A = this chain, B = another copy of it.
Amino acid sequence: MSKPPSREETARKVHSTALHLMRYVRAQDIALGVPPARLSALSVIVFGGKTSLSDLAKAEQVRPPTMSRIIDALVRDGLVKRETDKKDRRSVIITATEKGTRIMHQGRSRREKRLLDLLQPLRREEIDLLDRASEILSKELRTGTH
């Protein structure tokens, strides 16, 4: 049927697809009323459990002052709470409130539903192929230089 794709072509396709996919799922988040940076941080807090502010900053690849201000807003809106670490009183421990947890679960299920809708018309073999492709890429992203 078709000739084997060059690595360059495949790289371009993969990049373009990932870009459009992210755009597609992120559109769902607007309904939650929590802006993107805050939602992303909240996700780490809810699903990753309690962490320090600096660990959060690392996870989100932003600088501590940026994360500090994001936490300000999340605290103000009652989605997380700040506590000073008993072991190291310089450190701040961030925990999700019940409200924060609830909103995050809503968000996740909205996004998953959206993606499932996208995958709905696909056949068993195609789902299987997407699954293996994700595995391959994830593995390289974990082991590569970055």
Copies of this chain assembled into the complex: 2
Most buried by B among A27, A61, A132: A132
The answer to whether A134 and B4 touch across the interface, beta carbons within 8 angstroms, is: no
Q: At the interface, yes or no: A146 with Cβ under 8 Å from chain B?
A: yes
- A25 interfacial contact with B, CB 8 Å: yes
Q: Chain B nearest CB: distance from A139 CB in Å?
A: 10
Q: List 14 A-B contacts (CB under 8 A).
A: A7-B116, A8-B116, A10-B130, A14-B21, A14-B115, A15-B111, A17-B134, A18-B21, A21-B137, A118-B144, A121-B140, A129-B129, A130-B136, A130-B137
A12 at the binding interface (Cβ < 8 Å): yes
Distance from A14 Cβ to chain B, minimum over Cβ atoms (Å)? 5
Min CB–CB distance A46 → chain B (angstroms): 15
